Structure 1
């Protein structure tokens, strides 16, 4: 038995993201407004610290914190794909409606499509943050080689 948290533990805010023990998760867009409980929850589930933008190996998933004032979302999504493993997911975390930095849903959808990603679901992941699960076409065809 591992010392990491049970991913089914409903008290862990990260359980909804679907990460698993042993996965490497790259975190992009970190700033002081990011939800620390969610970050720690991901680390508890994976059993590893989040890696940052300087990480230059393959990651199993990406958590991208993005606020409206952070610049072009399409560019940020393309950057997030740089070291993402085939079949890996990007979780785009944006401030909820009414919060500073909120990003409109149509902007997320347009940027995701332009970056070659498809939006598969959106969930509340923290008090101030919404998570949008984005998958590459390769993830949708995971059984093919």
Structure 2
């Protein structure tokens, strides 16, 4: 798995999209964030955003809590074709969560997981509404 030159390509970010960010901390990949903001043409919105969003960057680490519950909470903010990108550190790095655990949590939350996308230091698993 080779990361795309621009992370927004791998994440399917398009101009004009509203992208929410959740789980931001000192360890996030600022390059991924910058690629997404540049492509969308607008800043990332916080997880307390009132309207619908087209995508979510959810930075997730082992020990962050109940991923299924967090994904369930986000479902109400998702536009019909929106995707939640659960980003976790690569294997053998601090905070890594196996893709199988992310997929299980997505299914528990009523979302459909997709195979991980390489963004560099982080892997992103897309989780879409099952009614999309």
Which secondary structure does the structure 2 equivalent of 1:57 belong to? Answer: coil
Aligned counterpart, 1:138: 131
Aligned counterpart, 2:97: 103
Distance 2:16 2:46 in 1: 17
Aligned counterpart, 1:18: 12
Aligned counterpart, 1:75: 69
Give unpaired runs (5+ residues) of structure 2: none
Cα deviation, residue 12, structure 1: 1.9
Distance 2:110 2:7 in 1: 28
Larger Cα-atom Rg: 1
Give 1:28's match in structure 2, choosing from 22, 32, 38.
22
Conserved? CA contact 1:28–1:80, under 8 Å: no
Aligned counterpart, 2:111: 117
TM-score, normalised by the number of residues in structure 1: 0.84
Cα deviation, residue 133, structure 1: 1.1
Aligned counterpart, 1:55: 49
Two-structure CA RMSD over aligned residues (Å): 1.2
Distance 1:106 1:61 in 2: 21
TM-score, normalised by the number of residues in structure 2: 0.92
Q: How many residues align?
A: 129
Conserved? CA contact 1:74–1:115, under 8 Å: yes
Aligned counterpart, 1:38: 32
Cα deviation, residue 106, structure 1: 2.3
Distance 1:100 1:39 in 2: 20
Structure having greater relative contact order (Cα 8 Å, sep ≥ 6): 2
Distance 2:22 2:76 in 1: 12
